[in-house]
Amino acid sequence: MTTEKYGPKAERWSRDAYADAATYFGRRGGLILSLGPSLQPGDALVDLACGDGALADYLPGIRYTGVDTSPEMVEVGRKRGRNMALGDLNDYEPPEPVAATTCFRAIYYAGDRAAFFRRVAGYTERKFVFDLNPRQYRLTDVRADLRDAGFDELALQPFFSPQHHSLPRPVLSALRALEQTGPIARAMLALRFSYLCAAFRGGKKM
Ligand SMILES: C[S@@+](CC[C@H](N)C(=O)[O-])C[C@H]1O[C@@H](n2cnc3c(N)ncnc32)[C@H](O)[C@@H]1O
């Protein structure tokens, strides 16, 4: 049961799960704003399976709502001043449509991935941003499910920010440069790291 798994970790989630949370979330937040159609201050965003909602602190000007099934995570996020809701990503719907929906390190909690994407597409106006481990899911399968949900465009960014290691700045810069290398980046993704993905509607005929 995930609630039992994550509840006890809530108080220290961002500190314990990330060796350098500020650098990691800073990069993630920047890409959420810029990858695919951009987000602007005042845009609303729902972050599904958000943990303690720490991502909110790295999305300046964005009207953030974090959603999680763990009451402890929701409580910790609220204590830290973040807008949080208790909910399951499989059936959660925000009261109003949002510009963007995000889901990080949690796509595997979708019971039926295609149905989950359709639900997200129903309330997401600009883009759906998530991370994807290509060793766990075939990109072609995920792309097909996104297309069926109405997201006919997918921007992919290799994301070589280590979660469990705090690296010196020159090494981080070298990893960032490797993200842009096409075939080398894809070879690295066969072994480690993930993609950050932005799915959106490109306006083409479906
Ligand atoms: C690996 S953590 C990721 C947290 C955060 N997104 C991050 O990147 O640090 C997974 C989170 O998903 C939550 N969770 C698990 N199943 C869920 C579901 N069905 N709906 C919403 N949240 C869920 C857990 O409580 C936990 O906070």
Look up residue 164 and give its two tokens: 């469990």
Ligand 1 pocket test target in 9, 14, 68, 164 with most atoms within 8 Å of CB: 68
Ligand 1 atom 8: residue of nearest CA? 104
Size of the chain in residues: 206
Distance 50 CA to ligand 1 centre (A): 6
Residue 174 lies in a domain: no
Domains contained in the chain, number: 1
pLDDT band, residue 203 (cuts 50/70/90)? confident
Distance 157 CA to ligand 1 centre (A): 22
Residue 205 lies in a domain: no
Check pocket membership of 109 for ligand 1, CB cut-off 6 A: yes
Give the ligand 1 atom nearest the CA of 90. Answer: 19
Tell which residue, 140, 116, 112, 137, has the closest CA to residue 128. Answer: 116
Residue 16 lies in a domain: yes
Residue 153 lies in a domain: yes
Residue 166 lies in a domain: no
Q: What is the pTM of this model?
A: 0.96
pLDDT digits (tens, 9 = 90+) for 55-76: 999 999 999 999 999 999 999 9
Residue 56 lies in a domain: yes
Check pocket membership of 18 for ligand 1, CB cut-off 6 A: no
pLDDT digits (tens, 9 = 90+) for 117-144: 999 999 999 999 999 999 999 999 999 9
Residue 164 lies in a domain: no
Ligand 1 pocket test target in 69, 102, 104, 161 with most atoms within 8 Å of CB: 69
Check pocket membership of 98 for ligand 1, CB cut-off 6 A: no
CATH of the domain at 99: 3.40.50.150
pLDDT band, residue 205 (cuts 50/70/90)? very low
The pLDDT of residue 4: 83
Ligand 1 pocket test target in 13, 57, 102, 105 with most atoms within 8 Å of CB: 105
Check pocket membership of 88 for ligand 1, CB cut-off 6 A: yes
Residue 68 lies in a domain: yes
Give the ligand 1 atom nearest the CA of 3. Answer: 25
Domain with 104, as residue range(s), is 2-158+196-200
Q: Residues 27, 58: contact at Cβ < 8 Å? A: no
